[in-house]
Amino acid sequence: MITSSLAVARKDLRLAFAGGQGPVQAILLGLLLVFIFSLSAAPGELFTPQQAMAIFWLCSSFAVVLIFSLLFRFEEENDTATALLLSPLPVQGLWMGKTMAGLALLLMCQVFFFPAALVFLGLDPGGDWAGLALMALGVDLGLCILGGLIGAMGHGQGAKDALLTIIVFPLQIPLLLGGIRIGVGLAQGLPLSGVADWFGLVMAFDAVFAGAALFLFPHVFRGE
Amino acid sequence: MGMNYLFIANVCIWLGVGGYVLFLARQHSVLERRVRQLEIIDAEE
Amino acid sequence: MFRIYPKILMILACASMAAMAVGQYAIWFHAPEEATMGLVQKVFYFHLPLAWWSFVAFFGVCAASAMVLWTGREHWDVLAGVLAEIGVLFSGLALVTGSIWGRAAWNTWWTWDPRLSTTLVMWFVYAGYLVLRSADVGGGKGAKVRAVLGIVAFLDVPLVFLSARLWRSIHPAVLASRGGGLEPEMWTAVWINVLAWGALFGTLVLARYHGAGLKRRVEAALIRIQEKTLQ
């Protein structure tokens, strides 16, 4: 299943970049959000690390919505969804592939969001950013696990898939809180053990929702 | 002051629950009337 | 499958009204005034049952959603919608009363109490769920989509609670404590009101479910008339 999931992910990434767009829309939206939020501070006034991390994760959250909307739109054309379902690929493999592609695209977006947060929001680059990157991967994984499941629900719904965002954002709150606290803790020089409980929560979220998605994805994508 | 807050809390609760009960009652009466009308039309057909 | 006999509903309504009357007596005459917070503490006798029954409702949404996926029967989907609606009402009222209580007791409209924070997040999730139901997201597989949402939403509850509890540990200045232990008369008032609100909850669920049944009868009659007209 892993091999076929990777094939799906490769296919989606190729399609995402073939149209010349890739994650451009998500990146632009995120950068715009960082800039707009930066206007809420007076000139010369700095954001606290907590505010800066909250804005960073909010941008990532919006990016996830756009990314998965793009990824699931590929199967709406020419009824390729049916072709995929008829293939030997297990349906859960399709979810895994979408999640992996989404994760890759989200990481590409965050490569732009992070420097923007440094520049516009005054994030202090003196903390343990390597540790942050590692733990952020856990949060990103959770965002994509949920994004893959919710994206499947919006598949074939046209404009209605935008409505799904009103349920995605509150569901993501444990992840966002975790991401913010991990980022703030590491920026303040805490060791990795200092944010271990938050990382544990993030991993618990990922485990619970990955399990749920593996079981529930066929119901929403295949409608069985 | 505490009494004011207690009063406001009570008002909110009874307005909320009462409003919902009224909504249900109205919905039922509209639907029951509609069901009767349609059953008459159905019988005539 | 949808038919709730009006007589049963009437009996339940009368029973829940009687239970609520007993509950009100217990609050205002039986339970003593709390030493620290005074009379405003009595909001607790509404706040707690509302919060508890809203969580029962949300659990019910999850269970009914699981039944939709297992059996594929429509009435489980309708029941999930009914429970979500009442859960949103009750949790909304729990939030309002919790906020008022916080303002009266600790001079702050919002305390980062993990239970209150969890209730707020669940209110957002299930309000969103209701919006998606009314927009008929999912089309032909709408019932399955709603069922998956109903299950996923409830899986989030313990995670939200844990994250809110961890989050609050960095804000000790706004900790909201429920105060010391309750007197026995207060516990009696609590349990009477929990049961009374439970009876009301059950009545509302059945009444709303009956309304959904009426709506199905209207739709079925319209289809029959349309078919006869086309013949």
> Measured between alpha carbons, how far is C51 from C119 in angstroms, rounded to an integer?
8
Overall average pLDDT of the C20-25 stretch:
92
Output DSSP code: residue C138. Answer: T
C160 — contact with chain A (CB < 8 Å)?
yes
Q: Would you call C46 and B17 a contact, using CB atoms and an 8 Å cutoff?
A: no
| Min Cα–Cα distance to chain B from C73, Å | 23
Domain boundaries, chain A: 2-221
Output DSSP code: residue C180. Answer: S
pLDDT at A196: 87
Intervals of chain A under pLDDT 70: 20, 78, 125-126, 156-161, 223-224
pLDDT at C172: 44
Q: Would you call A156 and C129 a contact, using CB atoms and an 8 Å cutoff?
A: no
CB contacts of C200 in chain B (<8 Å) are 17
pLDDT tens readout for residues C111-126: 778 888 899 999 999 9
How many contacts does A have with C, using Cβ atoms within 8 A? 90
What is the three-class DSSP state of C64?
Answer: helix
> Measured between alpha carbons, how far is C127 from C135 in angstroms, rounded to an integer?
12
pLDDT tens readout for residues B3-18: 888 888 889 999 999 9
Q: Amino acid identity, residue B43?
A: A
pLDDT at A129: 76
Q: Are C68 and C144 in contact (CB under 8 A)?
A: yes
Structure tokens at C230: 């086309």
Ramachandran angles phi, psi of C38, nearest 5°: 75, -150
Q: Are C27 and C207 in contact (CB under 8 A)?
A: no
pLDDT tens readout for residues C83-110: 999 999 999 999 999 999 888 888 888 8
pLDDT tens readout for residues C204-226: 999 999 898 888 888 888 888 88
pLDDT at C10: 86
Ramachandran angles phi, psi of A128, nearest 5°: -85, 80
pLDDT tens readout for residues C152-198: 999 998 998 888 888 876 544 434 455 456 788 888 999 999 999 99
Q: Which chain B residue is nearest to residue C197, measuring alpha carbons?
A: B17
pLDDT tens readout for residues C32-81: 888 787 888 888 899 999 999 999 999 999 999 999 999 988 899 999 99
Q: Are C139 and A157 in contact (CB under 8 A)?
A: yes
Report the DSSP beta bridge partners of residue C34.
C38
Domain boundaries, chain B: 1-45
CB contacts of B22 in chain C (<8 Å) are none
Structure tokens at B30: 């509209």
What is the three-class DSSP state of C121?
Answer: helix
- Name the burial class of residue C133, with classes exposed (0-12), middle (13-18) and buried (19+) by CB atoms within 10 angstroms of its CB: buried
Helices C44-71, C184-230: crossing angle, 10 deg rounding: 40
String of DSSP letters for chain A? -HHHHHHHHHHHHHHHHHTT-TTHHHHHHHHHHHHHHHTTSPTTPPPPHHHHHHHHHHHHHHHHHHHHHHHHHGGGGGGHHHHHHHSSS-HHHHHHHHHHHHHHHHHHHHHHHHHHHHHHS---TTS-HHHHHHHHHHHHHHHHHHHHHHHHHHTT-GGGGGGGHHHHHHHTHHHHHHHHHHHHHHHTT--GGGGHHHHHHHHHHHHHHHHHHHHHHHHHHT--
Least CB-CB distance to C141: which of A149, A201, A220?
A220
Q: Amino acid identity, residue A39?
A: L
CB contacts of A223 in chain C (<8 Å) are 140-141, 144
| Residue B27 predicted with pLDDT over 80 | yes
Q: Are A30 and A112 in contact (CB under 8 A)?
A: yes
Q: Which chain C residue is nearest to residue B32, measuring alpha carbons?
A: C214
| Distances from the Cα of A2 to the Cα of A93, A141, A199, A211, C6, angstroms | 7, 16, 25, 16, 56
| Min Cα–Cα distance to chain C from A166, Å | 5
Q: Would you call B38 and C100 a contact, using CB atoms and an 8 Å cutoff?
A: no
pLDDT tens readout for residues A33-81: 999 998 888 877 888 888 999 999 999 999 999 999 888 888 777 677 7
| Residue C144 predicted with pLDDT over 70 | yes
Nearest to A182, CA basis, from A126, A137, A117: A137
Q: Would you call C50 and B27 a contact, using CB atoms and an 8 Å cutoff?
A: no
* ipTM for the whole complex: 0.87
Q: Are A139 and A57 in contact (CB under 8 A)?
A: yes
Confidence of residue C2 (pLDDT cuts 50, 70, 90): low
How many contacts does B have with C, using Cβ atoms within 8 A? 81
| Min Cα–Cα distance to chain C from A205, Å | 7
Q: Are A125 and A189 in contact (CB under 8 A)?
A: no
- Would the CA dihedral through A87, A77, A145, A114 be positive or negative? positive
**Which residues are within 8 A (CB) of A139 and not within 5 positions of it... i.e. 6 or more apart?**
A57, A60, A175, A176, A178, A179, A182, A202
C103 — contact with chain B (CB < 8 Å)?
yes
Overall average pLDDT of the C23-27 stretch:
91
Q: Would you call B16 and C89 a contact, using CB atoms and an 8 Å cutoff?
A: yes
> Measured between alpha carbons, how far is B4 from B1 in angstroms, rounded to an integer?
5
Q: Count Cβ atoms below 10 Å from residue C37 Cβ, excluding itself.
A: 18
A157 — contact with chain C (CB < 8 Å)?
yes
Q: Would you call C159 and A220 a contact, using CB atoms and an 8 Å cutoff?
A: no
Least CB-CB distance to B2: which of C40, C208, C222?
C40
B16 — contact with chain C (CB < 8 Å)?
yes
Q: Are C40 and B2 in contact (CB under 8 A)?
A: yes
**Which residues are within 8 A (CB) of A56 and not within 5 positions of it... i.e. 6 or more apart?**
A34, A110, A113, A114, A117, A121, A123, A179, A183
| pTM, rounded to two decimals | 0.89
